[in-house]
Amino acid sequence: MKKVTILKAVAASLLVSCSSPKKPAESTQNNNFYNVEQFADLQILRYKVPGFEDLSTDQKKLVYYLSQAALTGRDILFDQNGKYNLRIRRALEAIYTNPKEDQNSEEFKKLSTYLKRVWFSNGIHHHYGMDKFLPEFSPEYFKEALLRVDASELPLASGESVDVLYATLQPVMFDTQVLPKRVNQAHGEDLILTSACNYYQGVTQAEAEAFYDKLKDPNDAAPISYGLNSRLVKENGVVQEKVWKIDGLYGDAIALTVYWLEKAATVAENATQKAVIEKLIKFYTTGDLKDFNDYSIEWVQDLDSRVDFVNGFTETYGDPLGLKASWESLVNFKDIDATRRTELISQNAQWFENNSPVDPQFKKKEVKGVSAKVINAAILGGDLYPATAIGINLPNANWIRNNYGSKSVTIGNITDAYNKASHGSGFDEEFVYSPVELDLINSYADLTDELHTDIHECLGHGSGIILPGKEDALKAYGATIEETRADLFGLYYLADEKLVELGLTPNMDAYKAAYYNYMMNGLMTQLVRIELGNNVEESHMRNRQLIAQWAYQKGKADNVVELVNKDGKTYVVVNDYPKLRALFGELLSEIQRIRSTGDLDAARAIVEAYAINVDPALHKEVLTRYATLNLAPYKGFVNPVYTAVEDADGNIVDVQVTYDESYADQMLRYSTDYSFLPSVNN
């Protein structure tokens, strides 16, 4: 179980956790708080940190120190992603900030866009697609612009001329054949030699695999994540690790990480959290992966602290062998209000189970809700910046998860920023039928979509029983049926007066926003994520189409839901919301029966009838309409700025948060204030 990085990757769609009927890629050109700027295929957003002002002074100081630590590893990630990245970034920044440069020239504008993309991807390869993206300015312009920069501003090695720097960087940046992919996963090739990432130097895939196979002990009850925190190199014919630690590779940056962690330890909320920080410092100091295990075990058991963090070598997606972890950081604190909401739902789990439309023989006699913790991000760093996940599920070591548990959280303020930014993107205006539905969506959809996710997660998956021996009976249809079940549980209860009674929804209109969105998404708009000619493959998308198509078809006799043509465009119209709810209840009962009894034939029949096939004409129409909106499929964030307020003696007495920094200003500031590594790291 990895962190929910699928989300980070598919920023296009906000594939939230395993549920949530999110609308696809939306962005906007309007200049509200959440939208910062758009270029290439990227949109930059801003997020708020609600509740920060309510933290105690010590908690604010803790967030401040940890957020400083979160920015110290940015250069590490650039170098991990490719060995020329730091030189390229610094050369481009020197040109970008050179007062002699004509900022109005077309070539300069192209260089600005390229630099913004390099910042976004923490290197020269696309953060999601992994392919190298090319500058649109000419190599000649690049060379002339380099020569216009004061040489002291350039990332020149000792004695190196600008000509040599240019000759080094030119093919790396401009030649499609050189380092074309950051992570190559194609079978049959040497994955190390064909990947541009900087985790291995001078070794082949076979040599690397042999090196680590020798270290592994299959009988170890506390397995070590060999290779996680080092570069593997061959020097003088010997394959060896260069460990990332305070007196090793990347030590200049790690020393600053440790400096800020030591400060953080002085304001830890409790002894457990203090021990977590101290164990992380120890790991950064020794580089010993046993110390990493100790740290991870301590971290997963710190459940009482309001402030929490991730800091270090964490995810291995950037290594084709999946061994070496990129540096990342996230500082966060518990969102008390949102967590209260999920707790309230969980506390009433038995009521929801008892009152569901499911056949009593398939209900749980005793049901326990799961209480999901909702957090707000305070800062994003390393491989979580600017593109980020919206959920975290750590640690990655399975034996630690099994023995000590794991932490699974959703990042509320990031989800909220995505939602808010999408308003006014033109997406709803294009696809929603009339001002009546638009009004419902603008008033209630953020709330009801979140609630739907909460019920899906806290109750849906845990509801119902499965008859003995039937756990895996649905085979390849199992995932789609299970998601369908959890989604329906959420949809059915969104329209229940119980939610108004509990204060979770304001009235009996709110649910209609979620119902409309769900039907529009399932019948039409989720198709923007599928290429013309393809059918629905992904299991969450299948589950959404299954529910929407089934309800549409079954409700036809009563005209519950219609597809209406207006001015040559197709729209979803919901004519009878209470009847739609009854249909969701009917389907929930049948899906629960299929799941409880392991009825494979029925599962296959219902999935094949409703979940997979796409109407090509409607698909084409949706894609055409979507293309006119000109939306950027990938999104990332600028961070807030934290400023420590000191008294006359230099003690921090408060920390203030501001949100007015631009994308380029922030990147340049990080490159000045948080750049601790040399341009070449060997």
Residues lying near Zn ion in the complex (CB under 5 A) are found at 18-19, 486
Minimum separation from the CB atom of position 555 to Zn ion (A): 25
Minimum separation from the CB atom of position 378 to Zn ion (A): 28
Query: Closest Cα to residue 590, out of 318, 362, 280, 326?
Result: 362
Instruction: Pick the closer one to Zn ion by CB: 82 or 391.
Output: 391
Instruction: Pick the closer one to Zn ion by CB: 358 or 380.
Output: 358
Minimum separation from the CB atom of position 489 to Zn ion (A): 10
Residue nearest to Zn ion (CB): 18
Q: Which residue has the tokens 């009235």?
A: 507
Minimum separation from the CB atom of position 342 to Zn ion (A): 14
Give the residue ranges of DSSP H helices in 432-494: 435-455, 478-494
Minimum separation from the CB atom of position 6 to Zn ion (A): 13
Instruction: Pick the closer one to Zn ion by CB: 19 or 396.
Output: 19
Query: In terms of DSSP bridges, do strands 42-46 and 35-39 run parallel, antiparallel, or are they unpaired?
Result: antiparallel
Instruction: Pick the closer one to Zn ion by CB: 19 or 422.
Output: 19
What is the DSSP secondary structure assignment for residue 457, as one 8-state letter?
I
Upper half-sphere CA count for residue 236 (Cβ side, 13 Å): 0
Instruction: Pick the closer one to Zn ion by CB: 486 or 583.
Output: 486
Minimum separation from the CB atom of position 312 to Zn ion (A): 29
Instruction: Pick the closer one to Zn ion by CB: 18 or 249.
Output: 18
- In angstroms, the CA 446 to CA 514 distance is 9
Q: Which residue has the tokens 């009838």?
A: 609
Minimum separation from the CB atom of position 611 to Zn ion (A): 15
Minimum separation from the CB atom of position 607 to Zn ion (A): 16
* SS3 call for 139: helix
3-state helix/strand/coil string of 168-237: HHHHHHHCCCCCCECCCCCCCCCCCCCCCCCCEECCCHHHHHHHHHHHCCCCCCCCCCCCCCEEEEEECC
**Is the peptide bond prior to 395 cis by the omega test (within 30 degrees of 0)?**
yes
- In angstroms, the CA 76 to CA 253 distance is 7
Residue 123 near residue 58, CB atoms below 8 Å: no
Instruction: Pick the closer one to Zn ion by CB: 19 or 448.
Output: 19
- Helical (H) or strand (E) element with 286: helix 271-286
Phi, psi values for residue 15, rounded to 5°: -70, 80
Instruction: Pick the closer one to Zn ion by CB: 2 or 566.
Output: 2
Residue 235 burial (10 A CB sphere; 0-12, 13-18, 19+): exposed
Minimum separation from the CB atom of position 457 to Zn ion (A): 7
Phi, psi values for residue 642, rounded to 5°: -105, 130
- In angstroms, the CA 260 to CA 66 distance is 7
Instruction: Pick the closer one to Zn ion by CB: 125 or 452.
Output: 452
Instruction: Pick the closer one to Zn ion by CB: 457 or 496.
Output: 457
Instruction: Pick the closer one to Zn ion by CB: 3 or 90.
Output: 3
Minimum separation from the CB atom of position 595 to Zn ion (A): 13
The CA radius of gyration of the chain, in Å to the nearest whole number, is: 26
Minimum separation from the CB atom of position 47 to Zn ion (A): 25
Instruction: Pick the closer one to Zn ion by CB: 19 or 305.
Output: 19
214-224: string of b/e by CB count within 10 Å (b at 16+)? Answer: eeeeeeeeebb
Residue 573 near residue 621, CB atoms below 8 Å: no
Minimum separation from the CB atom of position 366 to Zn ion (A): 22
- In angstroms, the CA 662 to CA 665 distance is 5
Task: Tally the residues of the chain.
Answer: 682
Instruction: Pick the closer one to Zn ion by CB: 19 or 293.
Output: 19
Query: Closest Cα to residue 8, out of 306, 314, 250?
Result: 314
- For residue 656, the one-letter residue type is Q
Minimum separation from the CB atom of position 543 to Zn ion (A): 9
Upper half-sphere CA count for residue 75 (Cβ side, 13 Å): 28
Q: Which residue has the tokens 């995932």?
A: 479
